[in-house]
Amino acid sequence: MMHSVLVTGGAGFVGSHACKALHAAGFVPVAYDDLSGGHAHAVRWGPLERGDIRDAARLREALGRHRPVAALHFAARIEVGESVRDPAGFHDVNVAGTRCLLEALHQAGITSCVLSSTAAVYGTPRTTPIAEDHPLQPINPYGETKLAAENLMADFAARLGLRFAALRYFNAAGADPDGELGEEHEPETHLIPLVLQTALGRRAQIAVYGRDYDTPDGTCIRDYVHVSDLAEAHVLALQHLLAGGPSLRLNLGTGRGWSVRQVIETARRVTGRAIPVVESGRRAGDPAMLVADASQAMQVLGWQPQRAALEIQIGDAWRWMTRAAMPA
């Protein structure tokens, strides 16, 4: 018998890849998504239940119909700049929505949940690479709401028997190696797809914000982790919880940082296209370097990124983007 798993935000970028990984691992992923940021065509490996994460009655209905053994929780608002403009809206979805989900899970007797969290819970890094015991001092409402979601899960764990895994990933990148899924944010804010859109001619140029950081080439450095590797980590965390393992808070990254200039140069090599650049001033709140210490995830879950090379991540994203741009 194949067990069902509820996947909130299962029509989104990481959530849809997780659904594919769940299916490959023998589960039936039930995507629960209001399609405000996700896409129905990305739901291919199980049913789609359309609903808002804050709709308790709709959640109970979906849980009652499919009787999942656990949940993966991706549904959230994620754009950092937007969180500064609309902090109340981010708290409503990311915190109140998480509480609504946890209450519905508790009422249904479901005790395992994996949370899509973020390195933004750490704020400006004091040390690099960043380990899980780094101080938690988010510097924007997005990070604050994700930390609040983690702490809600810890409260449910302490009082109501929930076991959870909060997976703090760094910069999600790439696309499904089979070409079935990719990144389709609107508007797009992530560097690699913006660079590739410039290579395709959809954008006139790519902006580089700041060239005077304390890094080898003066631009910000980030740890890019392939979306398929992220998806596999969620499956491993789920299996850990279903086997009776304790709650976890783990980083997901490669431990290797790449600068903005390195991303652009790699994209030029991969695509063979010109990518015009315009240099601009620093953006407020951009740390010089964000690189993960993901050794705990590797040790506890046996997770090992398989597509860590930047060329592979950009190549997968480029194949997806050029295929998606082809006429049907």
Q: In angstroms, how far is the first alpha carbon of the chain from the final one?
A: 37
CB-CB contact of 173 with 226 (8 Å):
yes
Which amino acid, one-letter code, is at 90? F
Confidence label for 185 from pLDDT (cuts 50, 70 and 90): confident
pLDDT for 266-298, tens place per residue?
999 999 999 999 999 998 778 899 999 999 999
pLDDT of residue 324: 62
pLDDT score recorded for residue 189: 84
Chain centre distance of CA 176: 14
Banded pLDDT at 179 (limits 50, 70, 90): very high
Which one of 32, 142, 169, 224 is the catalytic residue? 142
- Residue 308: the pLDDT is 97
> What does the DSSP assignment read for 119-136?
GGGS-S-SSSSBPTTS--
CA atoms within 13 A on the CB side of 292: 25
Distance CA 113, CA 6 (A): 9
pLDDT at 186 (0 to 100): 80
Given a contact cutoff of 8 angstroms between Cβ atoms, the answer to whether 240 and 302 are in contact is: no
- Architecture of the CATH domain 191-222+255-325: Alpha-Beta Complex (3.90)
- Retrieve residue 89's tokens: 């809206």
Question: What number of other Cβ atoms are within 10 A of residue 271's Cβ?
Answer: 19
Report the run of H or E that residue 207 belongs to, with start and end: strand 206-209
Q: What is the CATH number of domain 4-173+224-252?
A: 3.40.50.720
Q: How large is the average pLDDT for residues 215-238?
A: 97
Cα 250 → chain centroid: 13
Is 142 a catalytic site residue? yes
Q: Which helix (H) or strand (E) holds 249?
A: strand 248-252
Mean pLDDT of the chain: 95
Closest among 200, 207, 223 to 297, alpha carbons compared: 223
* Rounded CA separation 47/50 (Å): 10
pLDDT of 327 reads 42
Count of C-beta atoms within a 10 Å radius of residue 317: 25
Q: Tell me, yes or no, if the two domains 4-173+224-252 and 191-222+255-325 fold the same way.
A: no
| Dihedral sign, Cα of residue 183, residue 187, residue 192, residue 193 | positive
pLDDT in tens, 15-34: 999 999 999 999 999 999 99
- Percentage of the residues of the chain whose pLDDT score is greater than 90: 92
Work out the angle at residue 79's Cα, subtended by the Cα atoms of residues 263 and 322, and round it to the nearest 5 degrees.
Answer: 45
Residue type for position 162: L
H runs (alpha helix) in the chain: 13-24, 56-66, 80-85, 87-90, 97-107, 141-160, 191-200, 227-242, 260-271, 295-301, 310-325
Over residues 145-163, the pLDDT tens digits come to: 999 999 999 999 999 999 9
- The yes-or-no verdict on residue 325 having pLDDT over 70 is no
What is the tens place of the pLDDT at every residue in 74-125?
999 998 889 889 999 999 999 999 999 999 999 999 999 999 999 999 999 9
pLDDT tier for residue 328 given thresholds of 50, 70 and 90: very low
Query: Among residues of the chain, what percentage have pLDDT more than 70?
Result: 98
Residues 6+ apart with CB under 8 A from 121: 136, 138, 143, 146, 147, 150, 168
Predicted confidence (pLDDT) per residue in 55-74, tens digit:
999 999 999 999 999 999 99
3-state secondary structure of 91: helix
Structure confidence at residue 323 (pLDDT): 86
Would you list the domain boundaries of the chain? 4-173+224-252, 191-222+255-325
